[in-house]
Structure 1
Amino acid sequence: MNLRVWMGGLRPKTLPASIAPVLVGAAVAYRHINELNICTLVYPTPPQCVARGVLYSALLSRFWPVFILCLAVTLLLQIAVNLANDYSDGVRGTDEGRDADESDSGRNGRDAKPRRLVASGVPPKQVLCAAGVAAGLACVAGLVAVVLSQAWWLLAVGALSVAAGWFYTGGRHPYGYAGFGEVAVFLFFGLAAVLGTEYALAGAVDGLGVAAAVCCGLNAVMLLMVNNLRDIDGDRIHGKRTLAVRLGERRASVLLAVCCIIAWVIGSFICMMLWMPWGAVVLISGVAVPIRMVSSAFRHQFRTALNDAGFQTLLFAVVVVVSVAVSF
């Protein structure tokens, strides 16, 4: 039972938000690296082609180790954030009543909320310690990735990510309680994760990477928005003024739909640019998922909506990876 509670406390449905941006960042980085190997075959070989070839070999030789480390960093940070959120909400009483297994339906026609660790009786110090261990391991993996890639400025990004994870619900004035959670998710699980991965692997970022980062950020925002719509009643009672609480359920649901449309328009454009026109065709073939996600959120079927939000996040990442793979 304890293992089951701890596994639920990791919030596996939120993990696609950390996996997808690394996959996308790695895909656009791989495309960028392979472009270095395109050079006119003439004799004698131009100096710039020699330099590009050396850089190509160096970047390719460290690609997989750095990719695995980037993936470990984001996964461990996501787990640390989830556990820190559980600890902070638990000691504040925000998760009051979340000590039972998730069922198909709850009161007022809503899906029941999933179990939380502190609310289930796990000592808060244990949860906080587990969050610290996950954050520490993420820092170690990040430091190794920085050493391998020589992208020292990413240390600052990592430090900001750890701080943002804690102050989301921790500290005296958590910004997650003031409605800024979606902004942080967009910045760290979109821009920072995608562009940081691309830079660590390719030593540069490009316009396509920025567009992909925006799309990943919007997908992560939608995951959080569905989660906050599910918790809107309890959050309002406990003074947690998330964006959903500030806007109200109806307007927050409309904003979810708007974010979904924007993300799919940008995503289709990116996939089409990578693999014209089939990348966009493959992505659009899964359009039933976001439609169901939005409609489920309006109907208070948040378990389905959360599953679909996670699935569409991974779907975009997989289509980007496939589009890059077939383009070479």
Structure 2
Amino acid sequence: MEMHTTPAIQPEKGWRVWWRLTRPHTLTAGFVPVLIGTALAYQYTSIHFGLFFAMLLASLLIQTATNMFNEYFDYVRGLDTEHSVGIGGAIVRNGIKPKTVLSLAFALCGISVLLGVYICMQSSWWIAAIGTLGMIAGYLYTGGPKPIAYTPFGELTSGLFMGLIIILISFYIQTEFITTTSVLISIPISILIGSILLANNIRDLDGDKENGRKTLAILLGRENAIRFLQGMFIVSYAWVTALVLFQIASPWLLIVFLSVPKAVKAVKGFIGKTKPIQMMPAMKATAQTNTIFGFLLSIGLFISYFL
């Protein structure tokens, strides 16, 4: 959701319109969990790359479809205008027809279903039920009579479905079982994915409040929401540290601390800012923290298997 009284952003042209429609800064929430789940599986089995790429593409398509549902329903409810700040706005600024956006979102879900059939044929049909729940959650995030995005549960929902569940599915389709370690290592990634949404809601706090939303950022207030975001970062790093101290995970996972400067930049980027445009760099840094943290975690896992 992106509604603010700021100068209009110049419309994109050509392929950039469609690229913007995918909201690329959020796609990190699609590929990082698949990478982590696959890296965890490598300890137990050789990687089935067909399943890996199918899962990766399905995850990215579902994330993109969710973004398009968001774009469509924010427009329908009058929350997006040509003055909106953010990565969205393809309908209001670039003239893409609302029905085109909605149809494209459903088409991406359809492709995901086909990929899901392949994944199920190679692993378990229980994956179909879980995948269906994920797509329903993506639609209900901004669709339906009571959108999840309008409640304080958006961060929890995104972290659960785009973090924990995708990591465990990615792990399971390779190994055909789940371990306690795979669940525990998925927690910090789930938190960081939730932080991306929280950062978005901190930026949109004033506009969301005007339009009747009751997001976590609104309930906490701007300053407390920033502190909560900082706490999410701290818990993520502390969680990995605890896994190492209790010998649940390899010390190589501490390589994730190389991403700390980006997390610090994200928090500092919000402090003292009130205008949405001023907070865009902080939002970007939050998404980058998830990306870098996830890649480093994967590297740490692979290194620990070889050494």
Q: Do the two structures share a fold, i.e. TM-score over 0.5?
A: yes
Match of 2:79 among 94, 98, 106: 94
Contact 2:71–2:88 (Cα < 8 Å) also in 1: no
Which contiguous aligned blocks of 4+ residues in structure 1 show a shift greater than 4 angstroms?
A: 269-276
Flag structure 1 segments of 5+ consecutive residues without an equivalent. Answer: 34-59, 100-111
Match of 2:114 among 119, 134, 140: 140
Specify the SS of the correspondent of 2:117. helix
Amino acid at match of 1:219: L
* Residue deviations 1:267-310 (CA, integer Å, cap 9, x gap): 34457858743431x22233111111111122434222222222
CA distance in 2, matches of 1:230, 1:170: 21
Match of 1:74 among 50, 59, 63: 59
Matches within 5 A, 1:102-251: 112-120=85-93, 121-149=95-123, 151-251=124-224
Contact 2:116–2:131 (Cα < 8 Å) also in 1: yes
Amino acid at match of 2:21: G
Deviates more, 1:298-307 or 1:269-278: 269-278
**How far did 1:250 drift?**
1.5
TM-score when normalising by structure 2: 0.88
Amino acid at match of 1:317: G
Match of 2:281 among 276, 299, 304: 304
CA distance in 2, matches of 1:188, 1:3: 29
Partner of 2:4: none
CA distance in 2, matches of 1:92, 1:3: 26
Match of 1:7 among 7, 10, 19: 19
Contact 2:253–2:301 (Cα < 8 Å) also in 1: no
1:285 equivalent in alignment to 2:262? no
Q: 1:270 to 1:73 in 2, by over 3 A?
A: farther
Partner of 1:262: 235
Specify the SS of the correspondent of 1:228. helix
Amino acid at match of 1:265: A
Contact 2:191–2:232 (Cα < 8 Å) also in 1: yes
Partner of 1:63: 48
Deviates more, 1:197-206 or 1:306-315: 306-315
* Residue deviations 1:175-229 (CA, integer Å, cap 9, x gap): 2112221121121011111111111111111122111211111010110011111
* Residue deviations 1:40-88 (CA, integer Å, cap 9, x gap): xxxxxxxxxxxxxxxxxxxx3x611111111011100000000000000
Partner of 2:298: 321
CA distance in 2, matches of 1:65, 1:198: 14
Specify the SS of the correspondent of 1:285. helix
Specify the SS of the correspondent of 2:42. helix
CA distance in 1, matches of 2:104, 2:79: 20
CA distance in 1, matches of 2:111, 2:244: 34
TM-score when normalising by structure 1: 0.82
1:20 equivalent in alignment to 2:19? no
Q: 1:299 to 1:74 in 2, by over 3 A?
A: farther
CA distance in 2, matches of 1:7, 1:88: 19
CA distance in 1, matches of 2:72, 2:251: 47
Amino acid at match of 1:24: I
Count of residues in correspondence between the two structures: 287
CA distance in 1, matches of 2:18, 2:164: 30
Flag structure 2 segments of 5+ consecutive residues without an equivalent. Answer: 1-12
Q: 1:16 to 1:268 in 2, by over 3 A?
A: farther
